[in-house]
Amino acid sequence: MEKISIRVTGKVQGVFFRHESRKIAETLDITGFVRNEPDGSVFIEAEGEREALLKLLLFTKTGPRYAKVERVEPLWGVGAGGHKSFSIQ
């Protein structure tokens, strides 16, 4: 199991970015969370199999229909199994 933390900047709040991230994570058996940050970015912490996490990372590069992603900053690590599901915070 691996872990990825992703910060996404651009027009990513108010465009269903968190909702779509959760839907994708749930279909890929990824656990963790997604939240809006005060600076206007979205932060994702996710754990799962590398292939599934890569699919989530790929989604973040474009986001949902009305998003305008400017930058994606991934940071890989070792998963600790600290989440039971994927939630919106």
Give the catalytic positions in this structure: 18, 36
**Among candidate residues 73, 50, 47, the one with its CA nearest the CA of residue 61:** 73
Q: How far apart are CA 15 and CA 3, in angstroms?
A: 25
Taken in order 11, 15, 20, 21, the sign of the CA dihedral is positive
